[in-house]
Chains A and B, each alone.
Chain A
Amino acid sequence: MKSSQGKIIGKDLLGLGLLLLFLILFLFSDRVSTSDYAEALPSAWINVNTIFLSIVLEAIPFILLGVFASALIQLYVSEETIKRFLPKNAWVSLVPAAMLGAILPLCECAIVPVVRRLIKKGMPLHVGIVFLVAAPILNPVVFASTYYAFRTNQTILYTRMGLAFVLAIIIGAILYSIFKSRPNQLRSQINVSLANHHVHLDGGEDLKQVKKASALTQLRNTLYHAVDEFFMMGKYLILGAFIAALFQTFLDRSLLEAIGGNEYSSTFVMMVFAYLLSLCSEADAFVASSFGSSFTDASLVAFLVYGPMLDLKNTFMLFAFFKVRFVLIFMVTVTLCVFTAVILLSGWIL
């Protein structure tokens, strides 16, 4: 009894200590960050730190929007609603999924928790995947930024959008044919049916419970969900951001540019760039246009299509939510599809 009480006090102290640490840092940050030890750090590591914090701070609001959207879906969208709006035929449902992606302005940080929630709510896996790869590219904000970045070369804009739409459907179809017999690819699937029991409205007990739940309780649950999900996703985001910051600082771009000579290798190199740099899809067009002089249009399109579908930081988040085998097959599929499509197109429009 004594020891367990001691444990509780110890844990409380741990939390309070952490709070105290933050407070001290908050109050004396200037003194700490201008002290000798901080000045003595190599500037490369200061750059890593700057880029790391920058990615984390920039992504956090969008993760929050994503987890709130996810929490709202959890509480207010029922399985029945999703079933009603999706076509019965698995192949036909791919097209509206890609179009839905085009309407919702969600970036690649916010989309992962939303898609996971929709799949948990009974959206078929392949439809969720279409949504996952289409939404970060086919959205009005990305359209606008690509337009501005490539205003003298609008082919890139239209190829990017067109390719994203078509490839999203193709990727969805491929994954459907691979996984149609095993649709449960989310981690911790045990709770799927339980997870929805309070919106199912089939058991009498549940029905009463739901009716009793006040608006306040609903709000409270939404917030709890949001926090839990933030802590689930956040760690992967932070790890991904850190590794991306290392690449951003230490990867010499001219090295990769040197091997980007012909159509195949430059497309490949730009896809590697897109993956490692982990840019937000809203801003990647500007970076792509800065590569304009040394890379072909086709490889720029590869950069712009591949990056939002798959990059370092969202790979970490995918591993958090989906089974390892599924993520690996997903990555291979996306990579092969984008590469093949760009190579095919390069002989034709680009």
Chain B
Amino acid sequence: MKQPYDHSFHAFIQGIILVGFAMLMLHLILTGNIVYYIAPMMMPFIYFALVVFFLLGIIQVFRSTTKTDHDHHECACEHDHHIKGPSWVKTIIYSIFILPIVLGFALPDRSLDSSVAANRGIQLGGGGNASSSATDNSINETDQNNNGSTSRAEAFLEDPEGYMENLTTQSGEEEHYQFEDIYDEGWFDDYYAELYEELMNNTVIEVTEDNYLDVMTVLDLYLDDFIGKEMEIVGFAYRETDFHSNQIVAARFAMTCCTADASVYGTMIESEESNRFDEDTWIYARGTIKKDHYNDQPIPVLVDAHIQEVEEPDSPYVYPSF
């Protein structure tokens, strides 16, 4: 004999699972550990999901108390929503939903480490395609058309968060960037030209969480101009198997949406102090920029560097700044 489908029970369990998801998100947001999973740019969507899950969870628990729910429900399409199969199948299905919630609470929140970096391959230059075709861009050329549209870059530099927020609210929920940006061809060169000026005027190039990827790109585009300048950088220690004993990389994961798309950037450091640091310890390094080659790619190297161990930064990942 077949058991009737127990609506109220399923609605009840589903409601609690939804509340569980909401609690997990709330927990990650409150502890700040959400940075290990989601890029700040995607946070509005997480807040959205948090609120919706709480509401749906509560509604679902209420739905479970109305026994006659199904008869009232004038929409007959519901049958295919039933979770089918014998009770062990249902148990497995609900376990699938409970699993990420329990894992999220019970396992430590940590950033990806050097074993993932080794798997994904590290970029020691400014990154993939930028180096090959853009190196012939002369800075003077881009300087000349530097007059017009710098306001966007300025707005961003002054208040990055506000700028991003504006973008999000202006362009609706699904879009993170304004569509017109795409057609604003000169913007990139202007933006990087400005950063180039700024970096050249500073005695020491400070690489921070906020400017990480941009500095890497500028350094890659105009490496020759930066030879001999001092630079300081923070990253986790990483080594390739073919490194010399005085070589080490200060690496960062760059994340666009989530850790699945995180790629690894790093700056090669040459120093006698290198071998004192284990992989995955967070290091601060300060040294002089030199141009060198690794796997036939031109890369910047920090030579005569001073290295010291530091605390893991609040935001272990770096993010694209547009």
Contact = CB atoms under 8 A, between A and B. Distances in A.
B93 A223 contact: no
B291 interface: no
Contacts of B320: 148, 286
B37 A26 contact: no
Given A43-B115, A140-B175, A144-B179, A74 B77 contact: yes
A19 B310 CA distance: 40
Given A22-B20, A224-B73, A235-B97, A277 B260 contact: yes
A120 B75 CA distance: 14
B36 interface: yes
Contacts of A30: 31
Interface residues of A, number: 106
A262 interface: no
A50 B256 CA distance: 15
A252 B119 contact: yes
A340 to B, nearest CB: 25
A74 B77 CA distance: 10
A280 to B, nearest CB: 5
B127 interface: yes
Contacts of A143: 182
Nearest to A286: B256
Contacts of B105: 22, 25-26, 29, 32-33
B263 A286 contact: yes
A319 B117 CA distance: 33
A140 to B, nearest CB: 5
A153 B93 CA distance: 45
B49 A64 contact: yes
A238 B12 contact: no
A221 B257 CA distance: 32
Nearest to B59: A223
A108 interface: no
A60 B49 contact: yes
Nearest to A58: B258
Interface in A233-292: 234-235, 238-239, 244-245, 248-254, 257, 277-280, 282-284, 286-287, 289-292
Interface string B6-20: 100100111011111
Interface residues of B, number: 96
Nearest to A252: B119
Nearest to B72: A217
Residue among B101, B177, B258 facing the most chain A CB atoms (10 A cut-off) = B258
Interface string A135-162: 0000011011101101111000000000
B212 to A, nearest CB: 14
Contacts of A254: 121
A334 B27 CA distance: 41
B272 interface: no
Contacts of B278: none
A54 interface: yes
Interface string B29-72: 00100101110001001101100100110011001000000000
Nearest to B171: A140
Contacts of B254: 286
B263 A19 contact: no
B16 A50 contact: no
A15 B12 CA distance: 7
A196 B76 CA distance: 8
Contacts of A229: 81
A151 B107 CA distance: 39
Contacts of A39: 108
B223 to A, nearest CB: 15
A56 B101 CA distance: 10
B14 A238 contact: no
Interface stretch (B128-136, B203-211, B300-308): B128-136
Interface in A2-59: 11-12, 14-15, 18-19, 21-23, 25-26, 29-30, 32-34, 38-39, 41, 43-44, 46-47, 49-58
B142 to A, nearest CB: 13
Given A50-B37, A50-B111, A253-B119, A19 B19 contact: yes
Contact of B74 (A32, A49, A209): A209
B160 interface: no
14 contacts: A14-B13, A19-B19, A33-B105, A34-B108, A38-B106, A52-B100, A54-B258, A60-B49, A61-B49, A64-B48, A144-B179, A195-B75, A253-B119, A280-B257
> Which 7 A-B pairs have CB atoms at the shortest separation, nearest pair first?
A292-B128, A195-B77, A228-B81, A25-B105, A61-B45, A58-B258, A283-B256
Interface of A: 11-12, 14-15, 18-19, 21-23, 25-26, 29-30, 32-34, 38-39, 41, 43-44, 46-47, 49-58, 60-62, 64-65, 74, 105-106, 120, 140-141, 143-145, 147-148, 150-153, 187-188, 190-191, 194-198, 209-210, 213, 217, 220-221, 223-232, 234-235, 238-239, 244-245, 248-254, 257, 277-280, 282-284, 286-287, 289-293
